[in-house]
Structure 1
């Protein structure tokens, strides 16, 4: 499949091409991302475009830039992608010998070997205040649901014919749209305006990936996240009979451009990701949502999300990413670049109670999406998996003789998924299944609909169940299905899987930034997993999924609405509006909790849970342009070539000619400081921009533990007009002038006016989390002393 502006057949300029150097072309070919040294640019009098120039660079070290591969008897081009926006370079198939010869060229900066990245509803619009109660219009009323905006999604495949992508009643895309949709005219419409596959790099790395022709795969992931961000209204949506309602994305009137960069079982190739972002920026998107990333937190100069994201921000495209699913361990957060919005995941206030009533009358709280009306709620024999780990992963134990007509208790884990266990038990004649979640999950239950009636129970309930089982020779139980319940006041709770900070690449910036709905999200799928026969027609089209992958498109869709209402706001202003208005309280108006029942800390939830209503009118924002990040990059220790590579296609620069901005002083909506040196005091500089109409006066208020003090100078800010900027300094110190007693302290800075509260979270630590040069040392942890 060819791409406009990108080389499909290698072009050689006969009269002016660089002389070809013959090398042994029989070595192992691998994909490399080759970065060209700035300020090298192509001569427009010699090469008609950047692709032909990159082709000449490849041909300078390859035998006519052609290869004969055993797996492909046809001559294949060596140049995979020629990038225009995201980086000054190209992707190519090269041998180690060829890379060595290329490194001797004066235009060569570095070559990065291939790398793979991983993929990380009916109620959430109302929960988030998008619809609004009667007589109090919500965000949708104020933004026309994002009409005229374009959100780009990078993910796996998409079920383009799904009703969530129906274009009925949608206006045509705006004139700026330059992309294409590779589905036919019966699928492409005014909702799904773009759909393409990027596989040119992946096809060389994985057997079985041929030209996908259409951006479709067997995964539900891409369809689910796309409908969450911008799905159309679909009445009667439900997940296996639960959660009935009208499904809609966060921006249901926005246009959707989909870019397939991930493939089932293969992941997402770095060079394909870069190519998709490269084209998306030329095609006219307003917001980019990517539920994928690198859990190892590579440095920004080699990370496609960071590289492509910076190019996007230079074009005022807002970029939303997922924090990763490696929680609850600390220092696992992905997508750490400060120009990206990094989203953690939390529960919603909707639950699906399905309790277990034991034979002794004790009821155990559980949840289930599949609650069949045909299930007879009577006491049935209760049995356990008798294998060593109790996970129901041994098929030789789960025989009909052992489980037929019985309820089976299974622990999560083992070598089978819970869906696979349910299918095996169903085939063996079990009447129901009780799944015990692992201890790390705490109070948060991630649901799936199984092939037989089942409920999911928190690990803390296991002692009650085992006490009963051990008290009788014939234990029994029954499942009590109670439907769908809204208004859980304990929500939101930070999900156990949601990756936590601190950031490894820039420990002076708080990551994740914000939290969104990411647990048990009902959204569109090509076909639900688990249940052989869905209970109704619409249940074939929706399913429940959990992950920070689900949280990111919620926030991406909300960014569309904010940008629609405020078209001149920069990506940094939109991010600030979200972060400074986020909620840290749950439905009880008490501190949000982590999955273990303890108060959630800032490195798990960031600034808090998204509040779209408040974010539409934040009062003040911490604004900055893409150019403002450059002195910060110099301060991180990147050299001139690396900085120039990150900020491409901006012109080359020298860090020596710029004032260095330390991480603590980046004009960010959150504050992180380290009191690791005498006199244990740090000054932090910030600037705020007035985005509200009229005269306003804001007073500073800082909340920190008693052992710390803070002074804000000035502590009153007066604004007379829109877009007026005021600067201030915060000095944070220990009160006794000695080192901090606690490892970490948390607090907040609030600027308060008659109309607004502009809140910035504060993290104070007595020492750095990682060695100073985290990039050079791969983020090695520093132990407490």
Structure 2
């Protein structure tokens, strides 16, 4: 077999792994051909010819055609056909159609309160609760599971006419027609699933709930007296409640096909959206390279057309190197907590109260009168460890019936739902789960008396059980506790860095595994690891929900209009709404200016005025990127770092893309564009990002990083550099003062990094901040320890939904 064919099969196998399904794909391949028009502005003849040829041979097997924002198509092909097409001129890449997965009142008030604490003599900024000039013309596109249009979060009361620039449609489908759209929900599209012909999926109506929740978080109208059966009560609202919503249903209960995601990007670009929000992506261990990632491809062309693209970072935490959706043109979002706790206490004999967490509407007596046992005391034909963890099949029903069980959750073999179901099956009346993560992020146990406690509190409960022959307890129903501290903290599930894809961007560092294969871009066959750009609330978020979902309803109760969810899926629309708010107040700003404004105004402190934590340790940029977003300051950042299409193309040069293929990616690429002769990942350091990176740092010589900032504040402004450098690292900024005038809006500076002592192998962090006493423009950096690389880098900055 030819080496080229062998590599094709290897790449096909890897792509199948990337679906996260561990099975063969659906036989559909995506053929990506770059920009929709040639550099001269004419339509791509090669796209028409190739697609026309395929239609003549396999007309019914063409799944999607992309022609608005970029060029290409998706079709059922054999491996041989895919390989042949990949070798044709004008084709950037060919890859199997991947199956990606989905990655939610008080959160906006908490963000405003937090950022108000951080104001440094800042003149009044934006308030998400007040109407912003131009906000009604801002359009947020949501790529997700669809929408429940009847939700009050999508009412169009007091909205004016739909913006005349809107070119989209309200696509009819099963249980959804054009009248379901209004002046708030102005567009809806859905995409056929090439895997099946289930007509239930042929609709923009949300069959899962995830899309409704996300859309309401980003741009929901104000709804008073919202709650989940009385919990988290208050006024529900989105980050940009005056913005319009356009929905693109790309996901079904099965997952999200890449061919549909690309079609939605293509449509959204032509429809006229301003912001795109994607709470979905590959699992961390399967994330594809740029050339075969539908989200990366679609986002590149959307950003080139002036659309800000915001994506969830994934729910692969707390382990390192798990962040997805990390292309430098994407704004990637981690998840944090807010100052609200869903508390369900355990009361022991003697009325000793232990704070637990979770959502339950238990009806046990408030007095501790129920027998309490440890799981290992009910062992039946199993190991003591299995019984201690209350694994299905390990417990004696006679010993469980009528009792509350204390169980550990350390084995990882069974989910909490499986353990709950086992206790219910055996007649248990309550469950106390010892798990630090579940205590921090509330799960919904509905009407069953269940709560989660920390390992420390679990040890206290176990000590009580051992101290008496008749241990008793009760589990109280959940109450919402406000002003909880510390907050924010980084959610345990939120995906982390550091990067392992490109050492000079910490959105990327090459791995040793590579092959040239038939890959037209001659790219490394790597995995994409990095860290988030910013963090936003993603724990215990209340937002709208489909009104017919009995799966989240309490017994004998109507389905709720709102639901509480956690995940980076919920953090992403917070930033999408914020991006729309910034856009409405600064309509001429580019996506990179909006990203810069959000990143450089983020905060790194919590409501105790201490550093943000992750679990019980101090969090780092690996966890939260540039920090927790600020809704007060982001519309007025003072300075911005602008990154244009040429910067991204140069990034691809330095990342290993061939110049011939790069020229296919953009219709605005200038004549004579070439990659640097010395193109390498080291040159990525000078991309004009809101942060910096430098590799192979030593004590023998300094390394230089260059940046340019644009003044978006008052005309006459003097900024001074403030450096926060870790011990052992010398950081010098030249010049250390920037004087802007009415006619001088852009100024450049250089930063010199040098080790003053040898590294001990630990990663260390610091920052550079420009301030004029009114604005603070903050850029974090991290120096990688020698154990990883002699590198100093500044942060450039889902299984199914949680």
Q: Look up the match of 1:434.
A: 432
What residue is the counterpart of 2:565 in the other structure?
Answer: 545
In 1, Cα distance between equivalents of 2:735 and 2:701: 21
2:609 to 586, 589, 612: 589
- Paired position in structure 2 for 1:759: 778
Q: Match for 1:162 among 151, 164, 172?
A: 151
2:260 matched to which residue of 1?
272
Deviation of 1:203 (Å): 2.0
- Aligned length in residues: 719
SS in 1 for 2:617: coil
Deviates more, 1:723-732 or 1:316-325: 723-732
Deviation at 1:771, TM superposition (A): 12
| Aligned mates of 1:268, 1:335 — CA distance in 2 | 15
Distance 2:146 2:294 in 1: 20
Partner residue in 1 for 2:189: 196
Distance 1:671 1:757 in 2: 17
CA contact (8 A) 1:349 1:491 kept: yes
Name the SS for the 2:211 alignment partner: helix
TM-superposed deviation, 1:716 = 0.7
Q: CA deviation at 1:187?
A: 2.0
Measured after TM superposition, the shift of residue 657 of structure 1 is: 6.5
Q: Secondary structure in 2 aligned to 1:151?
A: strand
Q: Could you say which residue in structure 2 is the equivalent of 1:780?
A: none
Q: Give, in angstroms, the shift of residue 379 of structure 1.
A: 2.9
Query: Which aligned pairs between 1:82-481 and structure 2 lie closer than 5 A?
Result: 82-103=65-86, 105-120=88-103, 122-129=105-112, 138-141=127-130, 143=132, 146-182=135-171, 183-199=176-192, 202-204=193-195, 207=196, 209-210=198-199, 212-264=201-253, 266-294=254-282, 295=284, 296-359=286-349, 361-371=351-361, 376-385=366-375, 386=378, 388-394=386-392, 397=395, 399=397, 401-412=398-409, 417-419=415-417, 421-422=419-420, 425=423, 429-437=427-435, 441=437, 444-481=440-477
Distance in 2 between residues matched to 1:617 and 1:347, nearest whole Å: 25
- Structure 1's 659 and 150: CA in aligned 2 closer, same or farther, altered over 3 A? farther
Separation in structure 2 between the aligned mates of residue 517 and residue 136 of structure 1, nearest angstrom: 20
User: Equivalent residue of 1:280, what SS?
Assistant: helix
Select the residue among 681, 685, 689 that pairs with 1:664: 685
Cα deviation code 1:506-535 (max 9, x no counterpart)? 332243110000111111122567655268
Matched, 1:78 2:78: no
Q: 2-side partners of 1:698 and 1:54: how far apart?
A: 55
Distance 2:392 2:604 in 1: 44
For residues 350 and 675 of structure 2, the distance between their equivalents in structure 1, rounded to whole angstroms, comes to: 75
Mean Cα deviation higher: 358-367 or 525-534? 525-534
Match of 1:717 among 738, 750, 754: 738
Note the C-alpha offset of 1:393: 4.6
Separation (CA, whole Å) in 2 of partners of 1:613 and 1:525: 28
Q: Runs of 5+ in structure 2 lacking a partner?
A: 1-24, 117-123, 380-385, 507-530, 792-802
Q: Quick one: higher RCO (CA 8 Å, sep 6+), 1 or 2?
A: 2
2:65 matched to 1:65? no
Contact 1:697-1:716 at 8 Å conserved across structures? yes
**Residues 240 and 543, structure 1, Cα contact 8 Å, conserved in 2:** no
Q: What is the distance in 1 between the residues matched to 2:90 and 2:76? A: 18
Q: Check whether the contact 2:290–2:296 (CA below 8 A) recurs between aligned residues.
A: yes
Deviations 1:555-578 (A, max 9, x none): 000111010011111111111111
Equivalent-residue separation in structure 2 for 1:571 and 1:483 (angstroms): 41
Residue 363 to residue 86, structure 1, CA distance change in 2 (3 Å): same
Change (3 A) 1:586 1:40: closer
- Please report the TM-score for the alignment, with normalisation by the length of structure 1: 0.84
Q: Any conservation in 1 of the 2:698–2:790 contact (CA below 8 Å)?
A: no
More helix by share: 2
What is the Cα deviation at residue 179 of structure 1?
1.0
Alpha-carbon deviations, 1:538-564, whole Å to 9, x = none?
Answer: x61111111111100000001110100
Residues 1:346 and 1:286: Cα distance change in structure 2 (over 3 Å): same
* Pair 374,467 (structure 1): closer, same or farther in 2 beyond 3 Å: closer
Unaligned residue ranges in structure 1 (runs of 5+): 1-27, 67-75, 773-785
What's the CA shift for 1:303?
1.4
Deviation string, structure 1 residues 211-266 (Cα, Å, up to 9, x no partner): 723123532211111111111222221123211111111111111111111121x3
CA distance in 2, matches of 1:313, 1:186: 31
Counterpart residue number, 1:73: none
Secondary structure in 2 matching 1:129: helix
Gap change, CA 1:36 and 1:653, over 3 Å in 2: farther
Distance 1:103 1:221, change over 3 A: closer
Map 1:528-539; keep pairs closer than 5 Å: 532-533=553-554
CA distance in 2, matches of 1:121, 1:81: 31
Aligned alpha-carbon RMSD (Å): 3.3
Q: Structure 1: how far apart are the matches of 2:341 and 2:715?
A: 43
- Using the TM superposition, name which of 452-461 and 574-583 deviates more: 452-461
The corresponding residue for 1:572 is 592
Distance in structure 1 (CA, Å) of the matches to 2:446 and 2:92: 53
Q: How far, CA to CA, are the matches of 1:530 and 1:418 in structure 2? A: 17
CA displacement 1:59-80 (0-9 Å, x = unmatched): 5xxxx423xxxxxxxxx61222
Aligned-pair CA distance for 1:489: 2.7
The alpha carbon displacement at 1:626 in A equals 2.3
Give the superposition deviation at 1:57.
3.5
The 1-side partners of 2:45 and 2:348 are apart by: 73
| Aligned-residue offset at 1:398 | 7.5
> What is the alpha-carbon distance in structure 2 between the residues aligned to residue 171 and residue 224 of structure 1?
24
Say if 1:622 and 1:427 are closer, same or farther in 2 by CA, change over 3 A. same
Quick one: structure 1 residues 676 and 370, their matched pair in 2 at CA, closer, same or farther if it must change by over 3 Å?
Answer: same
Task: Tell which deviates more after alignment, 171-180 or 319-328.
Answer: 171-180
Sort the Cα spacing of 1:189 and 1:429 in 2 relative to 1 into closer, same or farther, 3 A: farther
Instruction: Give the alignment's TM-score, normalised by structure 2.
Output: 0.82
1:251–1:561 CA contact under 8 A, matched in 2? yes
